Amino acid sequence: MPPSRRQILRRRRVAFFGAAAVVLGTVFYLPLTLLAPLGSVEAAVAPVEVAAQPAAALEWPALGASAVGAIGYDGVLAAGGASAPAPMASISKIVTALVVLQAKPLEVGDTGPDITFTAKDVAIRDAYRAVNGATEPVTAGLVLSQRQVMDVVLVESANNYAESLVTWAFGSVEEFVPVANEWLKTNGLNSTTIVEPTGMSPLNVSTAGDLVALGKLALANPVVNTIVGTSTETVPGVGDLKNSNTLLGVDGIRGIKTGTLDEAGACLLFAADYVMGGETITIVGAVLGGVDHKSLNVSVRSLLADVEESFRVVPLTTAGQPFGTYTTPWGDTANLVATKDSSAVVWSDRPVATAVEAGEVGVADKGKDVGEVTFTVDGEQITVPLELASTIDDPGAWWRLTNPAALF
């Protein structure tokens, strides 16, 4: 039986609306899928570890107390021997110089005010000569600049000039002493005590660790830093000065102060520069209670060699080194890689912490900046940018049309 007119009309309406639905679906679906943003994906970051280095093996002087540190590194790197405060002899003069400069500041190149010496200063010299203390000539009426007097104190270690300097700056030794001890306290040198400015008293005591901190303070002062590295000098009215530190210029050593006293033995506060990994590392060390300066110097050179070997240039990244991978829903992958080589100078077996930060990525070109890796060594951070190692391409129309769930 042929379909009725009503059935024919119904079929036509179904076909029409079906075709319309297909057309409308195509009109809306195609643009939505073909033009829809693809979104972005997170990186799968690979674990990053920097291999631990061997612990430092240092050969300490046989007697007394020793410690080493470095500029830019907190506290003491390593210490050996006794830890109790001990006489520091003429290393005391570093404290004297820094305290005087706090009261009477100088800039490098400045000579400062003139100091006129009197019969009292001649008597001061006579008193030190009577107890075999190191002195330099002085006459009543001699006029020297503050800088010249400080040179005599630190280069030649003249006790009489140290006392005359603090008398000029503070009025008397008695007025200098409390100021010096307050300065020590302010700078955290809590195991150090000063009773007079020269170091002739065995009651001027410190620890090797405190002296490392003192050495850092000395090098941070441009005037003291300059003077302690001076080997020879001529001061009119005084004569030729010769630094008692015979290690100056040897193995990178550039200061800081010797000390000798029966109760203290041979003492040395020293600094040495070494270039490692393109940067200069300044080592600061102290030794108290050595037998004599000849054997002490041998021990210090050996110790410095050990310390230098215990600073190591550790590779952190190489250009192109992968730190993770991006994987897209359509199967495209790209590594995030370091943009450059990098390294760090690491002391002993100090750990190196790492942290990778990577942003989300969608379609992107090779070389796109995608994050960074940060290494932390002794509080210092080294950051290296990360980039895409290859291009992440659009997946194309077919994938878009057949994977709508990944788009919406």
Counted domains in the chain: 3
Which residue has 């359509």 as its token pair? Answer: 330
Per the structure, the complete domain to which residue 102 belongs is given by: 65-290
What is the predicted pLDDT for the residue at 16? 46
What is the predicted pLDDT for the residue at 389? 97
Query: Are 272 and 341 found together in one domain?
Result: no
Question: Residue 72's domain is classified under what CATH number?
Answer: 3.40.710.10
d(CA 145, CA 367): 62
Residue set of the binding site: 257
d(CA 275, CA 350): 19
| Candidates 66, 92, 157, 299; catalytic one | 157
Burial 209-245 (b: 16+ CB within 10 A, else e): bbbbbbbbbbbebebbbebbbbeebebeebeebebbb
Query: Are 284 and 340 found together in one domain?
Result: no
- The residue ranges of DSSP E strands in 231-310, in sequence order, are 232-235, 239-242, 253-261, 265-276, 279-290
What is residue 326's DSSP assignment? E
Nearest-CA neighbor of 370 among 43, 39, 37, 38?
43
Residue set of the binding site for substrate: 257
d(CA 351, CA 259): 36
Q: Which of 290, 324, 357 is the last residue of a domain?
A: 290
Which residue has 């590594």 as its token pair? Answer: 335
Long-range contact list for 80-84, CB < 8 A, 24+ apart?
81/208, 81/289, 82/288, 82/289, 83/207, 83/209, 84/207
Cβ atoms of 372 and 384 closer than 8 Å: yes
Give tens-digit pLDDT for 262-290.
999 999 999 999 999 889 999 999 999 99
Query: Are 207 and 81 found together in one domain?
Result: yes
Known catalytic residue at 191: no
Which residue stretches of the chain have pLDDT < 70?
Answer: 1-39, 396-408
Residue 60 corresponds to which tokens in the numbers above? 């300490």
Query: Are 99 and 244 found together in one domain?
Result: yes
Query: Are 88 and 210 found together in one domain?
Result: yes
Q: Which amino acid is residue 308, in one-letter code?
A: E
Question: Residue 337's domain is classified under what CATH number?
Answer: 2.60.410.10
Give tens-digit pLDDT for 20-36.
444 444 454 455 545 55
Exposed, middle or buried: residue 6 (CB in 10 Å: 0-12, 13-18, 19+)? exposed
CA-to-CA separations, 408 to 329, 331, 404, 405, in angstroms, rounded: 13, 18, 6, 6
Tell whether pTM > 0.95: no
Q: Which amino acid is residue 365, in one-letter code?
A: D
Query: Are 173 and 272 found together in one domain?
Result: yes
Examine residue 297 and state whether it is found in any structural domain, yes or no.
Answer: no
Examine residue 139 and state whether it is found in any structural domain, yes or no.
Answer: yes
Known catalytic residue at 157: yes
Query: Are 205 and 250 found together in one domain?
Result: yes
Query: Are 15 and 45 found together in one domain?
Result: no
| Candidates 66, 93, 191, 216; catalytic one | 93
- The residue ranges of DSSP E strands in 177-252, in sequence order, are 205-206, 232-235, 239-242
Query: Are 200 and 278 found together in one domain?
Result: yes
List all residues 6 or more positions away from 121 whose beta carbon is below 8 Å from its beta carbon: 138, 140, 160, 164
What is the predicted pLDDT for the residue at 330? 86
| Candidates 4, 40, 83, 90; catalytic one | 90
Query: Are 31 and 47 found together in one domain?
Result: no
Query: Are 160 and 116 found together in one domain?
Result: yes
Examine residue 60 and state whether it is found in any structural domain, yes or no.
Answer: no
What is the predicted pLDDT for the residue at 31? 57
Examine residue 111 and state whether it is found in any structural domain, yes or no.
Answer: yes
Examine residue 299 and state whether it is found in any structural domain, yes or no.
Answer: no
Q: At what angle do helices 173-186 and 92-103 cross, to 10 degrees?
A: 90
Query: Are 13 and 86 found together in one domain?
Result: no
- The rounded Cα 344 to chain-centroid distance in angstroms is 11
